[in-house]
Structure 1
């Protein structure tokens, strides 16, 4: 009886691809971690900006803050399945954010198409050159080895960046008080993780309680006699 020889390469291919994905992820995490220490910190004043939404309407952070606390959610773009998932979770809690007297916007890098999500009310602002992401310290340069892979996934390099820059946002969520100070900062270089909505809502409730206490104290303060 003749020996039957089998080709193990096909069976081994998924394992090799999985291992390569892990290596690529670690490389991206390392590049992001090298700059994440420069991200905006809690207690710091957030940089002001003006960006356009997908309908071309201009939105300024200063205007948003004039109405109350603001939540900024930076995500990697529609080309990243993890970003799609995190944005869907963020959008699912959008009405709860509004109920606590805050507004919320998602800040998107350049990409071919908008992220599909359940809510059509969450505004998506386009940071086409990642200038805002850089100002907040949440953009890193993509390692050379990963560039072709990311482009195949749909990643678009910021057009206005220097020719050698291949910037990618670091997933981040900032809760800004009405004075522009960062009350909560969540920056995680692991793009497979995101801030859970419960933690976000707790931070907003704490801000709401703080302002309520401050307003009550002002009302109770005796008037100055002439």
Structure 2
């Protein structure tokens, strides 16, 4: 089953009151309104896109060790997935789908990291619960997300809804601001140029990891042709 099929099923169960957290009609209306307003804002259209230079970053992994994008790119193409946090079931489904695709990603010589505004403690929990073999990096105050054009502030009416779901973002992120990154996925070539970008204003919509594999193949093919021309 494709990732989006799982996401659609989760959304149907949540909105149908079949999960432990049962949203009221008013809460659902506010959540739909928040998504519609973010889509209408056009922010996703101004995020980093294919052909742009990827902002560099150095962020801590769940064990507090710094991870540099430059060091990762020295080894091969890099997939960067921005997600909201361990509290978001849609994000957890995406992380598991990326983990399932990891062998094919690594077989192509590419690396994979996920980036979230949550604390390293929550990233450690996310890695453990989702059985991930790739690192989750903690983006303090969503600064890297902002450099990619992904950070946005929750409207006041939505903050109350999130509190009702026990999604206390200031606690999860150790940041008083109620901000999140739009879910996004990038493939970055070894020269630091973004080869693929997918940014979703609607957090329930995410591309399948299988879309990444042809992009990595194309990067390797381009690199091979460049070597042939300079040989």
TM-score by length of 1: 0.82
* Poorly superposed stretches of 4+, deviation over 3 Å: 16-22
Q: CA deviation at 1:83?
A: 0.8
Matched, 1:109 2:122: no
Residue 130 of structure 1 aligns with which residue? 142
Structure 2 residue ranges without an equivalent (≥5): 1-15
Q: Does 1:85 align with 2:93?
A: yes
Aligned residue for 1:50?
A: 58
2:37, 2:86 → 1: CA distance?
Answer: 21
In structure 1, distance between residues paired with 2:114 and 2:143 = 15
Q: Match of 2:155?
A: 143
Which residue number in structure 2 is paired with residue 99 of structure 1? 107
Please report how far the alpha carbon of residue 26 of structure 1 lies from its aligned counterpart in structure 2 after TM superposition: 2.0
Report the Cα distance in structure 2 between the residues aligned to 1:171 and 1:56, rounded to whole angstroms.
23
d(CA) in 2 for partners of 1:31, 1:72: 26
Alignment of 1:67 with 2:75, yes or no, is yes
In the alignment, which of 196, 207, 212 is matched to residue 184 of structure 1?
A: 196
Q: Which residue of 1 aligns with 2:33?
A: 27
Matches of 1:18 and 1:166 in 2, distance apart?
A: 22
- Secondary structure of the 1:153 match is coil
- Report the TM-score, using the length of structure 2 for normalisation: 0.80
* Cα separation, partners in 2 of 1:85 and 1:21, compared to 1, 3 Å: farther
CA spacing shift, 1:201–1:153, aligned 2, 3 Å:
farther
SS at match of 1:73: strand
Which structure: greater helix fraction?
2
Indicate whether 1:41 and 2:49 are aligned.
Answer: yes
How far the C-alpha of 1:184 sits from its partner, in A, is 0.2
Matches of 2:168 and 2:221, distance apart in 1:
41
Deviation at 1:31, TM superposition (A): 4.2
What displacement does 1:182 show? 0.6
Q: Corresponding residue for 1:118? A: 131
Measure, in 1, the Cα distance between the counterparts of 2:37 and 2:99.
Answer: 28
Task: Pick the aligned partner of 1:153 from 155, 163, 166.
Answer: 166
Between the two proteins, the alignment pairs up a number of residues equal to 203
Q: CA deviation at 1:170?
A: 0.6
Q: Let me know the Cα RMSD of the aligned residues.
A: 2.2
Separation (CA, whole Å) in 1 of partners of 2:74 and 2:24: 48
